[in-house]
Amino acid sequence: MRAQPLLRVNDLKKHFYIPTGLFGQETIEVKAVDGVSFDLNAGETLGLVGESGCGKSTTGRTVLKLYRPTSGNVFFDEKDITSIPGEELNKLRTRIQMVFQDPYASLNPRHTVKTIVSEPLVIHGLMKGAELDERVKELMELVGLNPSYMKRFPHEFSGGQRQRIMIARALSVNPDFVVCDEPISALDVSIQAQVVNLLQNLQERLGVAYLFIAHDLSMVKHISHRIAVMYLGKIVELAGRHEIFDNPLHPYTQSLTSAVPIPSPKMERKRQRIILKGEPPSPANPPKGCVFHPRCPIARDICKTEVPQIAEVQPGHFAACHFAGTPIQDT
Amino acid sequence: MASILKVKNLVTKFHTVDGVVNAVNDVSFLLEDGETLAIVGESGSGKSVSMMSIMGLLPMPPAKVEGGQALFNSKDGPVDLIQLPYEAMSDIRGGQIGFVFQDPGTSLNPILTIGKQISETLIRHLGISGREAKDKTVSLLAEVGIPDPTLRFDAFPFQLSGGMRQRVMIAIAVACAPRIVIADEPTTALDVTIQAQIVNLFKELRVKMGVSTIWITHDLGLVAGLADRVLVMYAGQILESAQVDELYENPKHPYTIGLLGALPRLDTQESKRLVSIDGTPPDSTILIHHCPFAWRCAHAFERCWNEKPALTTVGEKHTVACFYAMEEGR
Amino acid sequence: MANKSISHGADSRLEIESTFKDRLSYLGRLLWRDRTGVVGILIFTTVVIAAVFAEFLTPYKPLDQDLYASKMPPMWEEEGSPEHPLGTDNLGRDMMARIFYGARVSLGVSFFGAIIAAILGVVLGAVAAYVGGRWDEIIMAPVNLVLSLPYLLFVVFIASVLGSSLLNVILIFGVTNSPIFARVTRGEVLKIRESAYVESAISAGARWWRVLLFHVMPNLVGPLVTLISFQISAMIFYEAGLGFIGLSVPPTVPSWGNMLSEGRRYISSYPWLTTMPGLAIMYTSLGMNLLGDWLRDVSDPRTRRSGR
């Protein structure tokens, strides 16, 4: 492992301002991402999990600067991409790529597979002509598609195949880092496994680092080295993948891990579930103090007033909770 | 145990401009009284269509139920749901058989209050007065875990979150004390913690009301802690059927084995690659006269390409449609 | 390495390599499936042929008068003759020749009018959507104003100010129809800009002009082609309307509108003077509408394949 992480995200915030009122004279501030920090090493996979609306996708997009961050820094290879000029950022885009959730919407329906896969290469003027053709063929084989399909249009492929096209495209420029935004959640179970295996094999072969955003905890555990759990715009816990399941410190993580179904009837019968009450509040109107306190089974008075800071509770295991590690009694 | 629903040789096709889609090909199964039956399959496997066919909920045309029976042990004696006239069918739907759909956002009427929607079902099927219906609705809302039920009676669907809307759907489904509840991917659109709440609610209601449930899902993980028995569907056919413990511990069909292997396990420390099933399901416009899984099956041999395997008993309440599994079992 | 997952999957859907012949037969099936589209294409083709080859299709010139053979009914009537299949008008001009030559005016005005409208409108709409902010308001305010005016009244007013000539009519139609193109373009561009594939292009490093040229424009083609065909159909109507009140091309030019206008005086005694151009207008407009419907379905590769 290198001394410096490939990606260092420092107190990243992304707030959206939504005009309301009859004439849009007032704005609601939605703190989609509210002070997120993490590192990612070369060749590593960091899983980012959370429920819908927790800001995990916004985090991924802000890290890529598809959204302009409200504040905070994103250091990629020691360069702060939040402040570098557009030209330089565009050059960096050859090293940072993204795979999107919906393989039906993320491929331009009017472009052939070849055009789609080669677009990043063409944009950056890296290849053309026969060399480009060769590269597209090579990429299609790499992701398990028949190269003779390269003149076809996306609608001629199934969902899993489209996601392979998307992955081939992202890998075309040999990136160091790929943000995978829910890359499998639109796919069927047997196809999910194909895509996850492909991503893992490609990481082994090419040494690419992933930020793997998903809501499916068991899949995230399977593919990630470390996992960050988000709740309402904040990372509430970050640890190694086994650590986070075997020894969750934050009560939210504890309930999440207990809620994930295990495909074994015997285990399921033995399990103790921590079922949270209520639902996540709106990020437009987050609770005071710890954002989790209204649903938290162990909340006390301090949680209603003071925001817990994320801290390294155990080596390499971070949590943002005043009472990190307190076991939850069955409710 | 007596069976409450007996489906025999169900065949459903869609007549589309691209040809005939063979959505359900000769499906037979039983639902026993008080049992939770899970029908598991990927998109296009026919799991939803087979239930919709039975309940007469498919748009016809293009859909057409071309054969089969669905004998339902109704309160007034056994009836074949497939042959039932429209009026009688709509008496059963929502009354003796309740539904919960995947997307609570679109299956509730956006311009009626939730209280109105529930009480209308009650008035329609139980023939009680408006006042009685209101009282009963409030207690139903409380029963499905909606806080402040008297207040929420007047809420519109858009004022509720996804999880709350699904609770309302469940309240409507169980309002008239049905004999069967059919739940079609009821938690797929929900977050993990909300999914856990809803699954819990189903388990509670089942204990309280003793209702038989058919749970349609793609999620084998979810089924493990929920169902008594599981049917695995693929390309419009049932490939395997077994009691839940048996299916997870002793799966016979290569497809079931593949599906289970494709799920990451939280209960192991090992980090093996997932088992992936190559390829994609067959084109449903082709009528297949051999094993529909043969293309993707690592064990397929000559017979699999020549004949269609029928469901064969391989253990107690365990049937499988696979020549390879049958050979092995011998 | 688990190489199995990287191997080519046994894919039953894509197993067969499609050839040129396959694609051709696929197009054929597509046409057959939507038979109204075939009818639209047939109608459109016949009108274009009539307009382009008018000289060869009829021995008469549209302005040749033959007072001995005036007011002859169509050939299927008792006094008709096969020499003038659709009869003659009050000055003995051959109706069929006038309708064929008249198609040139109708098609020319509507086609070029629609093209000008499309070009103007697309530029305005794309700029409004792409630059946004103040410019969006500056462009869309007059666009919405024009769209809120009663169209025919507006056109009549401009036409009466500018006077009647072929070029004027084309320009009037071009300018007055551009707002609808601007509005549609703006809406489509905004939608496409929000799409995941544009986001994907930006994350790959694409600049705005590349996004516009390679992602936005190709996806605009479908809706625009459809709109153009509907607009052509509408302009055929409006041209005839203007002609009818004498504000389209000069009365010496044979056009369907002018024919209607001239025939109006004889509508009770010689009804074919009005019914023939009327039928021509209806026929062409029907064809363009059917064509437009078909294009809307076909131009989208997503609906093209499954039809679901």
String of DSSP letters for B73-136 = EETTEEEETTT--HHHHHHHBTTTEEEE-S-HHHHS-TTS-HHHHHHHHHHHHH---HHHHHHH
How far CA A4 is from CA of A235, B3, B121, B324, in Å, comes to: 22, 65, 64, 54
**pLDDT in the model for residue A136:** 92
Over the range B116-135, which residues count as b (16 or more CB within 10 Å of their CB) and which as e? Answer: bbbbbbbbbbeeeeeeebbe
Q: Tell me which residue in C2, C200, C304 faces A106 most closely, judged by beta carbons.
A: C200
Q: Cβ contact (<8 Å) for C6 and A158?
A: no
Q: Decide: helix, strand or coil at residue B38.
A: strand
Q: Cβ contact (<8 Å) for B275 and A193?
A: yes
Is residue A157 left, alpha or beta, with left meaning phi > 0 and alpha meaning psi from -120 to 50?
beta
Q: Cβ contact (<8 Å) for B279 and C2?
A: no
User: Which class for C80: exposed (0-12), middle (13-18), buried (19 or more C-beta within 10 A)?
Assistant: middle
Q: Decide: helix, strand or coil at residue C54.
A: helix
ipTM: 0.80
Mean pLDDT score of chain C, rounded to an integer? 81
Question: Largest Cα–Cα distance in chain B?
Answer: 67
**Structure confidence at residue C15 as a pLDDT band (50, 70, 90):** very low
For residue C94, give the DSSP letter.
B
For residue C88, give the DSSP letter.
B
Domain ranges of chain B: 3-234, 253-330
Sketch out chain C's domains with CATH numbers.
32-306 (1.10.3720.10)
**pLDDT in the model for residue C4:** 33
**pLDDT in the model for residue C16:** 40
**Nearest chain B residue (CA) to A194:** B276
Min Cα separation B292/chain A (Å) = 15
Report the C-alpha gap between A156 and A104 in whole angstroms.
11
Judging contacts by C-beta atoms under 8 Å, the chain A residues touching residue B198 are none
- Below-50 pLDDT ranges, chain B: none
Nearest CA among A300, A297, A242 for reference residue A275? A297
Interface size between B and C, measured as CB pairs under 8 A: 32
Min Cα separation A184/chain C (Å) = 15
Residue A1 clears pLDDT 60, i.e. is over it: no
**pLDDT in the model for residue B313:** 86
Does residue C300 sit at the A interface (CB-CB below 8 Å)?
Answer: yes
Min Cα separation A272/chain C (Å) = 35
Q: Cβ contact (<8 Å) for A109 and C302?
A: yes
Min Cα separation B127/chain A (Å) = 34
Identify the bridge partners of residue C103 per DSSP, sorted by sequence position.
Answer: none
Q: Tell me which residue in A93, A119, A158 faces C13 most closely, judged by beta carbons.
A: A158
Q: At residue C223, what are phi and psi to the nearest 5 degrees? A: -60, -35
Judging contacts by C-beta atoms under 8 Å, the chain B residues touching residue A259 are 192-193, 195-196
How far CA C174 is from CA of C102, C108, C114, in Å, comes to: 20, 12, 6
Judging contacts by C-beta atoms under 8 Å, the chain B residues touching residue A223 are 264
**Structure confidence at residue C303 as a pLDDT band (50, 70, 90):** low
- The torsion defined by the Cα of A316, A320, A322 and A323, in degrees rounded to 10, comes to -60
CATH homologous superfamily of B3-234 equals P-loop containing nucleotide triphosphate hydrolases (3.40.50.300)
Q: Tell me which residue in A197, A255, A263 faces B276 most closely, judged by beta carbons.
A: A197
Q: Tell me which residue in B163, B261, B264 faces A221 most closely, judged by beta carbons.
A: B264
Min Cα separation C38/chain B (Å) = 16
Q: Tell me which residue in B18, B276, B280 faces C5 most closely, judged by beta carbons.
A: B276
Q: Cβ contact (<8 Å) for A264 and B224?
A: yes
Contact A89, A95 (CB under 8 A): no
Q: Tell me which residue in A94, A107, A157 faces C205 most closely, judged by beta carbons.
A: A94
Q: Cβ contact (<8 Å) for C13 and B280?
A: yes
Contact C122, C183 (CB under 8 A): no
Residue C6 clears pLDDT 70, i.e. is over it: no
Q: Cβ contact (<8 Å) for B266 and A242?
A: no
Question: Largest Cα–Cα distance in chain A?
Answer: 68
Does residue B230 sit at the A interface (CB-CB below 8 Å)?
Answer: no
Q: Tell me which residue in A107, A120, A194 faces C204 most closely, judged by beta carbons.
A: A120
Min Cα separation C300/chain B (Å) = 17
Stretch A235-250: mean pLDDT, rounded?
90
Report the C-alpha gap between B6 and B1 in whole angstroms.
13
**pLDDT in the model for residue B269:** 64
* Cis geometry, peptide bond prior to residue B147 (ω within 30 degrees of 0): no
Residue window 213-272, chain C: list those with CB within 8 Å of chain A: 214-215, 218-219, 221
**pLDDT in the model for residue C22:** 64
* pLDDT per position as a tens digit, A96-147: 999 988 888 889 888 889 999 999 999 888 888 888 999 999 898 888 888 8
Q: Tell me which residue in A98, A105, A205 faces C203 most closely, judged by beta carbons.
A: A98
Report the C-alpha gap between C41 and C35 in whole angstroms.
10
Q: What percent of chain A has pLDDT over 70?
A: 97
Q: Cβ contact (<8 Å) for A193 and B195?
A: no
Report the C-alpha gap between B144 and B138 in whole angstroms.
10
Report the C-alpha gap between C253 and C259 in whole angstroms.
10
Q: A198-207, B96-105, C250-259: which range is least confident on average?
A: B96-105
Does residue A242 sit at the B interface (CB-CB below 8 Å)?
Answer: yes
Contact A222, B264 (CB under 8 A): yes
Report the C-alpha gap between C246 and C160 in whole angstroms.
9
Q: Tell me which residue in B279, B283, B286 faces C9 most closely, judged by beta carbons.
A: B279
Residue C17 clears pLDDT 70, i.e. is over it: no
Chosen from B280, B293, B295 to mutate, greatest number of chain A CBs within 10 A: B280
Residue C11 clears pLDDT 80, i.e. is over it: no
Chosen from A64, A108, A116, A179 to mutate, greatest number of chain C CBs within 10 A: A108
Min Cα separation A174/chain B (Å) = 24
Q: Cβ contact (<8 Å) for B276 and C13?
A: no
Report the C-alpha gap between C298 and C291 in whole angstroms.
10
Report the C-alpha gap between C43 and C294 in whole angstroms.
13
Question: Largest Cα–Cα distance in chain C?
Answer: 95
Q: At residue B251, what are phi and psi to the nearest 5 degrees? A: -70, 140
Q: Cβ contact (<8 Å) for A215 and B192?
A: yes
Q: Cβ contact (<8 Å) for B248 and A261?
A: no
Contact A102, A159 (CB under 8 A): no
**pLDDT in the model for residue C1:** 33
Which distant-in-sequence residues (6+ apart) come within 8 Å of B37 by Cβ? B29, B31, B212, B213, B214, B215, B227, B228, B229, B230, B231
Q: Cβ contact (<8 Å) for B193 and A51?
A: yes
* pLDDT per position as a tens digit, A160-192: 888 889 999 998 998 999 999 988 887 888 888
Stretch C248-272: mean pLDDT, rounded?
85
Report the C-alpha gap between A42 and A31 in whole angstroms.
29
Sketch out chain A's domains with CATH numbers.
7-60+209-319 (3.40.50.300)
Strand order in the sheet with A71-76: A26-40, A7-20, A71-76, A79-80
**Structure confidence at residue C112 as a pLDDT band (50, 70, 90):** very high
**pLDDT in the model for residue B270:** 66
Q: Cβ contact (<8 Å) for A215 and B196?
A: no
Q: Cβ contact (<8 Å) for B43 and A188?
A: yes
Q: Cβ contact (<8 Å) for B42 and A218?
A: no
Stretch A231-258: mean pLDDT, rounded?
90
Nearest CA among C104, C101, C110, C102 for reference residue C238? C110
Does residue C205 sit at the A interface (CB-CB below 8 Å)?
Answer: yes
Q: Tell me which residue in B192, B263, B273 faces A263 most closely, judged by beta carbons.
A: B263
**pLDDT in the model for residue C306:** 40
Residue A24 clears pLDDT 70, i.e. is over it: no
Residue A29 clears pLDDT 90, i.e. is over it: no
**Structure confidence at residue C302 as a pLDDT band (50, 70, 90):** low
Contact B203, B215 (CB under 8 A): no
**Nearest chain A residue (CA) to B274:** A193
**Cβ atoms within 10 Å of C284's Cβ, excluding its own:** 27
**Structure confidence at residue C180 as a pLDDT band (50, 70, 90):** very high
Judging contacts by C-beta atoms under 8 Å, the chain C residues touching residue B279 are 9-12
Residue A311 clears pLDDT 70, i.e. is over it: yes
Mean pLDDT score of chain A, rounded to an integer? 87
